[in-house]
Amino acid sequence: MKIAMIGTGYVGLVSGVCFSDFGHEVICVDKTPEKIEMLKAGQVPIFEPGLDALIEKNVAAGRLSFSTDLAAAVDGAEAVFIAVGTPTRRGDGHADLSYVMAAAEEIAQAITGYTVVVTKSTVPVGTNRQVKQVIARANPKAEFDVASNPEFLREGAAIDDFMRPDRVVVGVQNARAGEVMAEIYRPLFLRDFPIVTTDLESAEMIKYAANAFLATKITFINEIAALCERVGADIKQVSKGMGLDGRIGNKFLHAGPGYGGSCFPKDTKALARIGQDHSVPMQITETVIKVNDETRRRMVEKITDMMEGQLAGKTVAVLGVTFKPNTDDMREAPSLTIVPALIGAGAKVRVVDPQGRREGEALLPGVQWMEDAYKAAQKADAVVILTEWNEFRALDLKRLARKMATPALADLRNIYSARDAKRAGFQRYISIGRSDYIAED
């Protein structure tokens, strides 16, 4: 099938490339000429493991191309996917749909023959019906249907998520559109991956409900971790004991500095706003947003307490600033709250991140970027682990401690233990939801 993918951000690029690997002819469109030129030159504007090789393979096979010409890409396409940004709108928490509607108007003018216009972007309930109205108004003669096909890609594991999904959700209004969507996802159907076909509104709601629930699990375990610190319990053991219950599961029960990224922050805010607009307050989701913000501030307090209230003039090495490992995404990362707070308290901050510098330089002014953890720790007063990149999971703690002026480790991902820290020579150690007392062997 011929597919046009409008938008080459994270979702659009990964989805377009994977569809081409299914055997479809895919044109990825973006309004930014520099991004398209990069892609044509074989350079990938985002970091996602394995994406560069998959692009090279499908470009070479003639199934994948990149363009700034939306009209040419849509002409003759059997399906057009809208995968543009829907950021939180300033002031009211709503998802900003201006990019979606602008894309719909352009698509309307370029449609030739029957086309299914598919919203891949995360959008509030009712958006696909608005897209249909926009297209019908802009081109009354257009023969088309709309479909909702929300994405469930984890950054850092997106290709595997696309190729081996837990489920594919498709919202349609009639059988004809459903048949087109079934053909697009035929390779997954043949391998018995679940395809959930439903109405437009349910498909839209599934995305928001799923993300809000996962954000709730993260926030719940972070609250329990704070209580564990007061009562002497170990959050790792608590999480394990909870997660073994099949009704709960062990995923997203890892205590940390709070959720971030492109999805959970904006989707929880959007769901809360949708509830307010329909007089059904999403009280749990609203509390999740509040507690997540408090969790980040609590991390700053923990670091400050570890330094006995004295951050002014101290050198702090921060390991990891992306919101999670295996991505270069800095959107809503906990580091964007924690690092400026450390600088504001007078600390000199050094930063190490395998992929975060490209975005981080503009977002974290005033920090010094270093090549590795050991150079960053040289004569430092504290090391803070913020993102659990593999290279930070396998640190030589003895070497790290020897380089520091005052060996102090804030392990905000619970990678190590107080005993590990003591044996390595650290005088102070803090983690999340566990005793920070460095016991004698």
399, 376 Cβ separation under 8 angstroms: no
Known binder of ligand: residue 94? no
CA-to-CA distance for 330 and 386, rounded, in angstroms?
12
439 is in an annotated binding site: no
Is 304 labelled as part of a ligand binding site?
no
| Distances in whole angstroms, Cα of residue 30 to Cα of each of 81, 183, 353 | 12, 25, 28
402: annotated binding-site residue? no
Answer yes or no: 263 catalytic. Answer: yes
Query: Is 350 one of the annotated binding-site residues?
Result: no
Is residue 152 part of an annotated ligand binding site?
A: yes
127 is in an annotated binding site: no
* C-alpha–C-alpha distance, residues 153 and 399, integer Å: 37
Q: Which is it for strands 79-82 and 115-119: parallel, antiparallel or unpaired?
A: parallel
Q: Is 207 annotated as a binding residue?
A: yes
Q: According to the annotation, is 120 in a ligand binding site?
A: no
Q: Would you say 30 is a known binding-site residue?
A: yes
Residue 153 in marked binding region: yes
Two tokens, residue 187: 């390779």
31 marked as part of a ligand binding site: no
Phi, psi of 174 (to 5 degrees): -155, 170
104, 135 contact by CB (below 8 A): yes
Tokens of 192: 């018995």
Q: What are phi and psi of 326, to 5 degrees?
A: 65, 30
Nearest-10 crossing angle of helices 200-231, 264-277: 110
Is residue 168 within 8 Å of residue 194, measured between CB atoms?
Answer: yes
Residue 261 labelled as part of a binding site: no
The reply, when asked if residue 260 is annotated as ligand binding, is yes
State the distance between the two ends of the chain, measured CA to CA, in whole angstroms. 65
Catalytic option among 18, 28, 228, 263: 263
Answer whether 17's CB lies under 8 Å from 54's CB.
yes
Reduced to 3 states (helix: H, G, I; strand: E, B; else coil), residue 301 is helix
The answer to the question of whether 167 is labelled as a binding residue is: no
Binding site listing for NAD(+): 30, 35, 86, 122, 155, 266, 331
Binding site listing: 30, 35, 86, 122, 152-155, 207, 252-256, 260, 266, 324, 331
Give catalytic residues, as residue numbers.
Answer: 263
Binding site listing for substrate: 152-155, 207, 252-256, 260, 324
